[in-house]
Chain A
Amino acid sequence: MKISKYLSIVLAVLALGVTGVSSAGTLDDVKERGHLQCGINTGLTGFAFTDDAGNWQGFDVALCQAVAAAVFGDASAVKYTNLTGKTRFEALKAGEVDMLSRNTTWTYSRDVDLKLTFLGVNYYDGQGFIVPASLGVSSATELEGASVCIQTGTTTELNLADFFRSNNMNYEPVPIETNEEARNSYLAGRCDVYTTDRSGLAATRASLDDPENHVVLPEIISKEPLGPLVRHGDDEWGDIVRWALNVLIIAEEKGITKDNVRAMAAETQKDAELNRMFGTEGEYGAMLGLSADWVVNVLAAVGNYGEIFEQYLGVNTDIGLARGVNALWTDGGLIYAPPYR
């Protein structure tokens, strides 16, 4: 009797603890802490990696820096938590990180069932296949009976199963953990095919000694919209991350770059949207609980969307990805942001 009473009190306290995690305003927490806690990958070419000096860099990391610049005016006010495919959502939900910028595919069940809020798409990816040219395969529909290297715990695993089932083909999965491991398994011939997002395939192919002997097959078997996310119910904070991403896109559209943003902000522009973004017209920063010039801080710190893309993924990098569907909507791509008004 006594024990059960004691137990119920303990459980009640625990329950309070569980529900209490996301109740406080994240923006206030972040400001009080003095830095942003951002969840990133443990290492994904172009998206999150360390440079020789030991700093985190990459396409996903730049978004963390953009949010830090929005909140603090300082892109370095961010601490990174490296998360694996298995720990990422738990870490976010437990409040260990304020946001996740970790090449995470926006799916129905993650959005609805896991109770996470996706804030937009910073990279439209799709799953593809790479095969050795010597295999003589020109289409993914010819892969009957192939052994396939596949990263576990990701949407690619499920897409692969769907694709082969719908084409009435069999395959032999070779489960692996990281892109690097997959690369080695693929090169060692432990699998005939390696499948992952096409950005990853491009990076892997670029790092091979003989890229001309490997073919990325034309099929794209899935939609992989990658984007940042926060906890459900964390709406004010979610707005900040969403608009930090949006202003990067708008800036590219309007031709604002890392180098010219300070000069442009210093004088009144004819385009009223620019004035609203630069904080010289209206009280737009205050609506988010940020400073009036937060957009200027973001752009001066990381540059616009196109600059970030070119720096980490673009054709002049080792990865050499063309913009493709990730071009601005004005250039026939899918990258589109609502107006800043």
Chain B
Amino acid sequence: MAEQNQQDYVPGTHASLPPPISQVGIAGWMRKNLFSSPSNVILTIVAVYFLYKVIPPILNWAIFDAVFSDVDHRNECREIAAGACWAVVRARFDQFLYGFYPDYLRWRVNLTFVLMFVALIPLLYDQVPKRKYLLWFSLIYPFLAFFMLWGGLGLEPVESAKFGGFLLTVLIGMTGIVVSLPLGIALSLGRHSSMPVVKMLSVWYIEFFRGVPLITLLFVASTLLNYFMPPGTYFDLLLRVIIMVILFSAAYIAEVIRGGLAAIPKGQFEAADALGLTYGKSMRLIILPQALKISIPGIVNTFIGLYKDTTLVVVVGLLDPLGISRATLADSSWQGLSTELYIFIAVGFFISCFAMSRYSLYLERKLDTGHRDK
């Protein structure tokens, strides 16, 4: 012990020693995070054993024993290897993307999809060059998209029954998201309003649509509405469904934003009034920017939920990716390959939903004014 305490250098001149080997690097990290206590040691061992049992079979099934080649019957897959038969995704890939959209017109869908990003980017990022002009494009984009997808005015018309797969998901999801946000803002302001009629109507609307399941609304859209329309008129099922989805999600958005409005101190409203701002100006310049900022996680949450809820349209016979998979699995050539198809669909949804959630994080960081605890 005495030796160790012996100082053979002038105080303050000793070079820093490296930390003990057990505290740094992989060993240190593992010691700190995986083996810090007996219960953690046990947990780690159990978890590693579990992963060892689960991961290799999954990889074998999905990749090493899987069939990626271009065969057209499940039995051919089984002859090649015992794993996943991705050939079914390959054979039906176009159907999963476009549904039954005529193949020589699919460039219209592709173009509409690419232009969607051109229209979205100036809305999502305010640093874009020439944003002013691009915003005009964003404004006309919905009409352009409608024209491109359904045709008319010289373009060959395509009826809604041909729409399917992820085209349908993106179409219903995006329209729902884009239209329900302003509608939801208006409703939340209506609910917050001091005018009794506006307030009452907003409350009724919100409570009605929040009180009814989306599936019920879809059934109303698909079956009941036709009874109320004059005989002979046919109102497109897809449009009916989109309208119902919009109405439904607007009610949720309204409540999310109401939460944001409620979080704003009364002083902000009073300050806006004291400055002599009109109602419109005070909302636009003072209240809503703060309320919306607070509501971002809730809004994006609702959007992601809405986007995934589009799969419910399968109950009214619209062929979204799940509907396409049902029709595919009914083909006796591909019967029984549901796992492959569901994984494929899940990946498709994950990409879109993950992108939305990342964007919301970006927005929160950008708008962060340091008022809250991190």
Contact = CB atoms under 8 A, between A and B. Distances in A.
Given A49-B327, A50-B328, A208 B336 contact: yes
B319 A44 contact: no
B319 A180 contact: no
Interface string A30-64: 00000000000111111111111010101000000
B219 A203 contact: no
Interface of B: 72, 74, 78, 91-92, 94-95, 99-100, 159, 161, 219, 222-224, 226-232, 234, 237, 314-319, 323-324, 326-333, 335-336, 338
A82 B99 CA distance: 13
Contacts of A90: 222-224
A24 interface: yes
A45 B317 contact: no
9 contacts: A42-B326, A43-B329, A80-B161, A86-B315, A91-B223, A180-B326, A183-B336, A203-B335, A317-B332
A65 B328 CA distance: 20
Given A14-B228, A42-B323, A46-B330, 8 more contacts: A45-B332, A50-B331, A52-B91, A52-B92, A82-B319, A82-B327, A96-B234, A208-B336
A183 B336 CA distance: 8
A10 to B, nearest CB: 10
Nearest to A81: B317
A78 B328 CA distance: 20
Given A83-B317, A94-B223, A49 B330 contact: yes
A43 B327 contact: yes
A183 B74 CA distance: 16
Contacts, number: 130
A206 interface: yes
Interface stretch (A15-23, A110-118, A236-244, A276-284): A15-23
Contact of B317 (A23, A24, A82): A82
Contacts of A45: 329-332, 335
Contacts of A46: 330, 332
Nearest to A51: B331
B329 A180 contact: yes
B156 to A, nearest CB: 16
Contact of A207 (B95, B231, B335): B335
Given A24-B232, A54-B94, A84 B227 contact: no
A132 interface: no
B335 A96 contact: no
Nearest to B317: A82
Contacts of B229: 17
A178 B72 CA distance: 24
A54 B228 CA distance: 34
- Chain B binding site: helix, strand, loop or mixed by DSSP? helix
A9 to B, nearest CB: 14
Interface of A: 14, 17-18, 20-21, 23-24, 29, 41-52, 54, 56, 58, 79-84, 86-87, 90-91, 94-96, 178-180, 183-184, 203-204, 206-209, 317-319
A42 B230 CA distance: 28
B326 A43 contact: yes
B322 to A, nearest CB: 10
A87 B72 contact: no
B161 A79 contact: yes
A209 B316 CA distance: 32
B317 A94 contact: no
Contacts of B319: 42, 82
Contacts of B318: 82
Contacts of B228: 14, 17
A90 B91 CA distance: 34
Contacts of A178: 326
A318 B333 contact: yes
A18 B32 CA distance: 73
A80 B338 CA distance: 24
Contact of B222 (A87, A183, A184, A208): A87
Q: Which of B219, B226, B228, B230 has the most CB of A within 10 A?
A: B226
Given A21-B231, A87-B222, A91-B222, A81 B332 contact: no
Contacts of B323: 42-43, 82
Given A54-B94, A82-B317, A94 B327 contact: no
A91 B237 CA distance: 11
A91 to B, nearest CB: 7
A201 to B, nearest CB: 13
A204 B336 CA distance: 8
B54 to A, nearest CB: 17
A75 B12 CA distance: 96
Contacts of B227: 14, 17-18, 21, 94
Nearest to B78: A209
